[in-house]
Amino acid sequence: MGPILLLGAPGVGKGTQAKALMAAWGIPQISTGDILREVKNHTTVPSALAERLLSAGKLPVEDMQKMQQGKLVSDDLVNEMVAARLASPDTRHGYVLDGYPRTLAQANWLDERLSATPGSLDVVAISIQVEYTKLLRRITGRRSCPTCGRIYNVYLHPPKHDMLCDDDRTPLEQRADDVESVFEQRIKTYEAQTAPVVEHYRGQGRFAEVDGELPVDEVTLSIKSAVARLRK
């Protein structure tokens, strides 16, 4: 399969589709968010990846401090983390990239690394498209039960009783960042960061778009078909 990059604004369902591709093709998902959390928590959760980076001197103090403060770290550090993850045997036949490359510099670095690795396939990028107002309903309609963790959507999958969990009648809660003002800013940030990455892969004929408003299984089939076309 080689490396497959899933692109899409917050709420399009990248995580759901990544899991479906992992199950279908037996390949791992590589999420930079997960890697950053793994490295950040390496003192309490033993991590071979974190240990390799630390022992190689790839985790400067300033970047460690940024991670602890929840700030963005440098492209160089993110690239090193991805390189360490790609050294694992489970990536040999392919992997799903989620959240990386996020910038044009990261995309160029990854292309250069893959071209220097014998037998590696190029990245193919699939963008999942969902119209803005529908994304807004997906995000701002989310509510969760603080007791059992069950997720609802007041527009799409509402609870049987207004703002109460169906299972235990606990009042549902809305995350602080699941509001329109925050979502609008996240969309602007995503588009500004991702536009050069999209054009990078589009210009090389390694980019396709799929309709993310279809049922989940149909979106998965569309992604598989797009990957097959791009790999020809």
- Which of the residues are catalytic? 14, 102, 142, 175, 186
d(CA 8, CA 219): 13
Alpha-helical runs (H) found in 116-208:
132-140, 180-203
d(CA 169, CA 171): 6
Instruction: State how far the alpha carbon of 14 is from the alpha carbons of 5, 10, 177, 193, 231, in Å.
Output: 10, 8, 19, 17, 20
Which SS3 state, helix, strand or coil, does residue 182 take?
helix
CB count, 10 Å around CB of 144? Answer: 17
- The per-residue DSSP string of 81-121 comes to HHHHHHTSGGGTTEEEEES-S-SHHHHHHHHHHHHTSTTPP
Of 74, 32, 80, the residue nearest 54 (C-alpha): 80
CB count, 10 Å around CB of 70? Answer: 8
Query: By CB neighbour count within 10 A (0-12 exposed, 13-18 middle, 19+ buried), where does 11 fall?
Result: buried
d(CA 47, CA 218): 36
